[in-house]
Chains A and B, each alone.
Chain A
């Protein structure tokens, strides 16, 4: 069974440029999450989807971050424009709504110069 797939694994951009990350969750999972992980810290939730609906986006900086989950499957996280402080690993995870157990992708490491 395929796991959560994320791309790109690594991205280097200059500040003020846009960037997008893509996530394909495990088939059958009805929840999808985007987490931000800074170096040496635990993941912090950016946004949570149940099917197509974003049910918790309170931690998403909406002035520059946006996310979508078309057709309740794949999801895209976008940053525009990127700032130096956005350098981090962006993790995607999926699971079932009632257990809280999540399956993570390998992450997308962003470096903003």
Chain B
């Protein structure tokens, strides 16, 4: 079975500091990987995705993530965070099962940016 582990439930960071949100997954087959962001009282918005090709993926709002197949990781990074980045971040893995993609989410990491 596929699973996603977000290693930190909460990450406090000062404004303009760098941040890394960690995500590991388990799967015996090829996967697609995603990071979603959820602002308070809103739905999930896609930050970035890895489907194939370059293992370094750039997304919106200055975020990027690197797919590491050997370590089964897909950590999210941003070199300098802003107050507006305060939100919940979800890592997700999509696996092809019986001809259709199944998306499984991690538990989320709450990123809090302090001034």
The residues of A that contact B104 with a CB separation of less than 8 Å are 45
Interchain nearest-CB distance for A91 vs B (Å): 6
Q: How far is the CA of A4 from the CA of B46 in the complex (A)?
A: 13
The residues of A that contact B44 with a CB separation of less than 8 Å are 43, 91, 93, 102, 104
B32 touches A43 (CB 8 A): no
A100 touches B32 (CB 8 A): yes
A98 touches B101 (CB 8 A): yes
The residues of B that contact A4 with a CB separation of less than 8 Å are 43
Scan B40-60; emit 1 where CB is below 8 A from any A CB, else 0: 011111100101000000000
**A86 at interface by CB-CB < 8 Å:** no
**A101 at interface by CB-CB < 8 Å:** yes
The residues of A that contact B32 with a CB separation of less than 8 Å are 99-101
**A50 at interface by CB-CB < 8 Å:** yes
Number of cross-chain contacts by CB at 8 Å = 64
Interchain nearest-CB distance for B11 vs A (Å): 14
B108 touches A100 (CB 8 A): no
A41 touches B108 (CB 8 A): yes
A40 touches B108 (CB 8 A): yes
**B74 at interface by CB-CB < 8 Å:** no
The residues of B that contact A31 with a CB separation of less than 8 Å are 100
Interchain nearest-CB distance for B91 vs A (Å): 9
**B87 at interface by CB-CB < 8 Å:** no
A100 touches B34 (CB 8 A): yes
Q: Using CB atoms and an 8 Å cutoff, list the residues of chain B in contact with chain A.
A: 4, 32, 34, 36, 41-46, 49, 51, 90, 92, 94, 100-108
In the assembled complex, 21 residue pairs joining A and B whose CB atoms fall closer than 8 Å, in A order, are A4-B43, A31-B100, A42-B90, A42-B92, A42-B105, A42-B107, A50-B100, A55-B100, A56-B100, A97-B100, A97-B101, A99-B32, A99-B51, A100-B103, A101-B32, A101-B94, A102-B44, A103-B46, A105-B43, A106-B41, A107-B42
